[in-house]
Structures are given as C-alpha cells and as structure tokens.
Structure 1
Amino acid sequence: MHLNKTLKSLPLCVAAGLMAMSPVATFAAEPLKVAFVYLGPRGDGGWTQQHDMGRLGLEKAMGDKIKTTFVENVPETADSERVFRQLASDGYTLIFATSFGYMEPLQKVSKLFPNVKFEHVNGFKTAANISVYEPRFEEGFYLIGVLAGQMTKSNTLGFIGSFPIPSVVRNVDSMTLGAQSVNPKVKTKAIWVNTWYDPGKERQAADTLIAQGADNVAQNTDSPASIQAAQEKGTYAFSIDADMSSFGKKAQLSGTTEDWSGYYIAETKKVLDGTWTGNRHTRWGIKEGMVVMAPLNPDIPPAAVKVFEDKKAAIVAGTLNPFAGPIKDNTGKELVAAGATMAQATFDSLNLYVEGIDGSIPK
C-alpha cells in the first residue's frame, strides 16, 4: 500500500498522525569529488608516482568523505585544458594540477567554473578559485650539495635540468651553494634536456656529465636513468621526488623527495569545512614534512653525515637560508649582500647561475 494514496483517503488528523509516525528518510552526504591531473605515468618512479602516493594517502585519511580520480599522461598543451574542463563538468569540485605547464590552461578553465577549487603545483598565477602550492625544493638541493661537496674527488658536480624555469634554476643554484659551503673549490656543470621524463635523454646527459669529470650528479628530471649511469660508472648520484636507491645502491648518496599527502589532506579538509580560499601561495619544506631527504648511503663517512645533519637541523630551525648572502652570480656581480637574503621578487623569477656554475642558462 502506497503511503501517499492512503493519506488522501483518511481524515486530516489521522493523516497527520501517520505522517508523524512514518520514518523519515535520511541521506548521507555525497562524497567530495577530488581529481588529480598528472603529466606522466603514475608508475614513473618519481614525480608523478609521489603525487599518486599522496592521493592514496588522502583516500586513506578521509575514507568515504571523498571520492578521487586521476588522469595520467596529460601533456602541458591544449589537451590539459580539455581534461580540466571535463573533470569540472563531471562534478569534481577540487582539482589538483600537478605540473608547472598547466598554469595557462588552468587560468582559462577556472573562469568557466567559478565554483570549482583548483590547486596548481609550482605555478605563480592565482585567482579567486586557484591556489598555488610548492615544496621548498631548494632546501633539499642545498643538502644534496652539502653531501656532494664533501664526497667529490674531482670538485666537479653535474646537474641534469628539465626546463630552465625559476623553480629548477633555484635548485641548481642551491645545490652549488650548499656544496660551496663545505668545499669552495666546487664547480658545477649543467645540461638541460627540455623534458621532465625521457630516460634516454637523461641517460645521455648523465653519461656526458660523467665524461666531463662530474663524479656527483643530481637531476631535476623524473626517471632513475642518472642513478643507473652512476652505478655502472662507479660515481655518485642523487635522486629527486622518490627514493631511487633500488636502481643504484652504491651510487645514490641520498636525494630530495616529497610527501604530498599532508598538504592534500589539509586542503581537502578546508573544502569540506568551508574554509578553503583561493589567491594563496603555500610553500612547505623540510620542517612541514613536504620535502623529505632519502636515506643516506651507509658509505658516507660519519663526519660528512654530521655536517649534513647539522645543516638540516639549521634549516628546520630557520637559522639557515640557502639563499642568504653573500652570493655572486657567475659573472662576479653581487646578487645578495652579506647579512641579507635574496629578495622575494628575485627568488620568484630567478634566471641566472650563481658563482661556480659553468655557462649560461638557455633562453
């Protein structure tokens, strides 16, 4: 018997009583739909893999309050604009764009979906519904330099760069400054491969740097190719984004990795409790647990380990800034005076090498 039909045939007072006695349907809140857009494959062993581990950590922490999805292998072209638009149309109200090159497409799509919250990694353009987040990568690279400066025998370091954008330039500069803090004789050679992930190009760059005398090579690319090259040639290397020591147990001295889960959890909670805002730029480092150093190679001498740990503790305490003066660029011009730290505008748009790095940054 249908309740609505029964109510129509009963006196008003009886119908009211039945309505009061009938169970009221309750509905659980719909889960928040959260999407992640990845530049590479989620099993790349580096950048994208770490973001996906952050997504899985978010799922574990938030349970049925959220529903996540991801789209991998999305190029930094108009294709990404299409992906962002589709996810927003499908009801995803929090979207993490995990590569620098998504910045302009995201700006376009955000205007079409003002109620969708967008988060962009490593960018610098915000909006009412866009916030930017990035690790303080320079802290990890400074510590890589501290190790490399103590472990090098040739006093020549190598760096494999992806694209010469400010966040990557800061890393080669910071690594060199860290190395010079323990070994003023250090010089750095850089090769730019103009890709985030191409194991063949990365391997070729590593081989070239080693042939040029670099016995410690760091990378700002995504594959473990440089670790493998160092393992084969008996030199040292450093991973980025993920611990790649399984590809070179003897070669990898350490590396700078990221744990994105804490940030993803914090931002998702803000959306759920209504406190999320746009027009923010968040930078987390070692202190906040977003930048995490890979385990140290057991072959590193204890004295070198102590220097590393002391400088790491100083970064956490806020008493060591990798870009504190005096700093000169590689033409000898003063960049940061003694007792000062790099101006924020210079830091944000950094496009020059510090003293000790050969050559010039590609245009």
Structure 2
Amino acid sequence: MNRRQLIASVAAVTTISLAAPTWAQDEPLKVGFIYVGPVGDGGWTYQHDQGRLAVEEEFGDRVETTFIESVPEGADAERAITQLALAGNKLIFTTSFGFMDPTINVAAKFPDVKFEHATGYKRAENVATYDARFYEGRAVIGTIAGRMTKSNKIGYIGSFPIPEVIQGINSAFIHARKVNPDVEMRVVWAYSWFDPAKEADAAAALLAEGVDVIMQHTDSTAPLAKAQEAGAIGFGQASDMAAFAPTPRVSSIIDNWAPYYIKRVGQVLDGTWTSEATWAGIGDGEVVIGEITEAVPAEVKAEAEALRDRIGAGEYHPFTGPLNKADGSAWLADGQVAKDEELSGMNFYVEGITAEIPQ
C-alpha cells in the first residue's frame, strides 16, 4: 500500500467512525415505533409489537422502547413521528406503507435520528426500508385454498390497491389455479388496513357471492369470524390468529419481525447501522407459515409444506412463467422469473382474474 492509499484508507475509517459512533453505554438507546392499528388487533400491528418486545428482551436496559398506536396515515402520522423524535428516540420504526412520505419529511428535520420504514421504497441517508415477501406465503395458502374450495370460488379482501397487495392476490390465484383449474377469484376492497366493520362487510359480500374460502390483506380477525358463521374457511393474516383454529382458520401467514428489529437495533448500538433496503421472505424466517390444522387433508398439508420448503430453499419462485397479464398480453415466458423491480411496481392482475383494479 502506498502513502496515498494509506491516507485514503485512514480517512475512510475516520469518516465511518464519525458517521456511526458506538452508542454510549451509560444511557439507553431510545427506540420508537409508530403503528397504524392497535396493538391488540391480532394481526399486523400485534406482530410488530411482538418484535418490539423481542428487542426489549434481547437488549434489556441497554434500550428503552415506546410506541404510538392507531396512527392514521397522512398528516397525523407526521405529527406522531415528530413527537417520537422530539422525545429523544434515536431510532424510529414506522410500520405502514402510508407512513412513507411522513417518515421522509420528518427524517429531513432530524438528521441525527435513524428511521426505518416498513413496506415503502423511499430512502434517505438516515432512512432505511424493510419489507417481507408476503407473496411467498400467499402461494402456500393459495395451494391449500385451491384444494379445499368446494364452490371453486375464493374471496380476497384487499386493503389498498398497491403493489404489495396486488402481488398477494396474484400469487394466491396462480397457485390455487395450479392445483384447481376451475378456481375463480373474487376481490373486494376495504380501503383500510384495520377496520373490523368494513372487513366484516367485505367478507359478507364475498360469502353472498358463493365464496367458501376467504383470504385477506387486512389486519383484523373480523373476516374469520364471518367465515366461521358461514361454514367457510380462512387464514390468519400477519399473525397466527390461532384462536380460530382448527377452523375456519386452517393455516396462517405470520410476519416475524423480531429478528430484523433485533439486528437493526444492535447495529445502532454498535455503530454499524446504514441506510439500506431489505426484502426478506420464507427462507429468511421473516415470512412464516403457521400450523396447518387437521381440517386440511394430510396430502394437501404435505403439498403445501413441500411448496413452502422449495420457496424457502430458493428452488422455486412464485412468479415463474409462463404467465400472462389479465388482458392476455405476455408477461413471463416459460421458466422466466419475475424481477424484483417488476414486482415492486405490480399494477396488473394475471390472466384469469376478471376483477378490475381500482384506479
């Protein structure tokens, strides 16, 4: 190494050290969380709060966590995030897609605070993003749904028509139809992440159309309660929702945020945190398929678990061609796998879904 290289290396190390100091051990790291729903929702927010509690258990008195729940997306979110920053939180997790712009806005005002935004795509020097490949789990439960429907009509309750949700609808349909070519997918939009009354109404509307399997990308247990009344089946969303097992909840997609939260808090503590984008799935342990109950035939359970394991091992991607778009145009050729960039902007249904995506 010549002198110029040595000087450059020392300068780089010095810059990194100044940018990311190890956290002072004589004071706890304050970590804040913003939730779109209540911690008792039994779904999305509940699972994020389980991750927060895991952070406390992992780091003990080295951290101090707090949260604000039931924060509407929009201006209220910006006020709540600002409140956490002003309270001395040096790492703030904002856990809903609609918190994206408020997070970016607040981060610009607090450059010494690190922010983590869930499911979004906008980053900054002090803003990282993290997401889960929920569509991998939808492939597994779509397989169960396709095998178990008797009416060949599967219902899906969407929250908002954003790529994350559209991915899930498409993945569930593709894999339901792989095992049952007669399957139809009916979609109803709740236009809310957490609203038990709207979710119950959406489930009732689907059941009235003859649906006997319900999936959801909303956060409450209301759709499972409606399925129970009608003798239909459903799946836990975001958390296990095991109180409804063995039926109508015959399995679940569980969002396991704890490892990510522990990792990122640890990086702030040891000075290695950087802004990055992560998108983890079954193979990373971030998307978990909950217990498949005895209400599911043994051969269907084995089929679903085999698919889960192939996805987790990287042997199979849920969006593998041949696949066309709903308008009949070609999308993926035989054996071709969708790129992450395509999935991140997904704004179309695959061939076979006749519903329209709201604009």
For the criterion TM > 0.5, the same-fold answer is yes
Tell me, yes or no, if the aligned pair for 1:137 and 1:285 is still in contact at 8 Å. Answer: yes
Shift of 1:158: 0.5
Q: 1:218 & 1:256 partners in 2: Cα distance? A: 10
Cα deviation code 1:191-225 (max 9, x no counterpart): 00101111111111111111212111100001111
Aligned: 1:156 with 2:153: yes
Tell me whether 175-184 or 136-145 shows the greater mean CA deviation: 175-184
2:176 counterpart residue number: 179
Shift of 1:249: 3.6
* Aligned counterpart, 2:132: 135
In structure 2, C-alpha distance between the alignment counterparts of 1:264 and 1:292, rounded to whole Å: 16
Count of aligned pairs: 336
How large is the Cα RMSD of the aligned pairs?
1.2
Mapped to 1, the partners of 2:210 and 2:76 lie a distance apart of 41
Residue number in structure 2 paired with 1:72: 69
Find out whether 1:112 has 2:109 as its counterpart. Answer: yes
Gaps of 5+ in 2: 1-23
Which of 327, 347, 354 does residue 358 from structure 1 map onto? Answer: 354
Residues 68-107 of structure 1 correspond to what in structure 2 (within 5 A)? 68-107=65-104
Question: What is the letter of the counterpart of residue 338 of structure 1?
Answer: D
Q: Which has the larger radius of gyration?
A: 1
Give the partner amino acid of 2:308.
Answer: K
Tell me how far apart the structure 2 counterparts of residues 222 and 28 of structure 1 sit (CA, whole Å): 38
Tell me the distance in 2 between the aligned counterparts of 1:44 and 1:137: 19
Q: Establish whether residue 190 from structure 1 lines up as the match of residue 187 from structure 2.
A: yes
* Matched-pair contact (CA < 8 Å) for 2:224–2:249: yes
Q: Which whole-Å CA distance do the structure 2 matches of 1:241 and 1:213 have between them?
A: 25
Partner of 2:43: 46
Match of 2:241 among 218, 241, 244: 244
Consecutive unaligned residues of structure 1, counting only runs of 5 or more, are 1-26
| 1:1-363 matches, cutoff 5 A | 29-247=26-244, 249-278=246-275, 280-363=276-359
Between the aligned partners of 2:355 and 2:25, the Cα distance in structure 1 is: 61
Structure 1 residue 55: Cα displacement: 0.4
Inter-CA distance 297–272: structure 2 relative to 1 (3 Å threshold): same
Counterpart Cα distance in 2 of 1:40 and 1:196: 8
Shift of 1:110: 0.8
Report the 3-state secondary structure (helix = DSSP H, G, I; strand = E; otherwise coil) of the residue aligned with 1:181: helix
TM-score normalised according to structure 1 size: 0.90
Provide the residue aligned with 2:4 in structure 1: none
Q: Shift of residue 344 of structure 1?
A: 2.8
How many angstroms does 1:245 deviate by? 3.3
Distance in 1 between residues matched to 2:235 and 2:327, nearest whole Å = 27
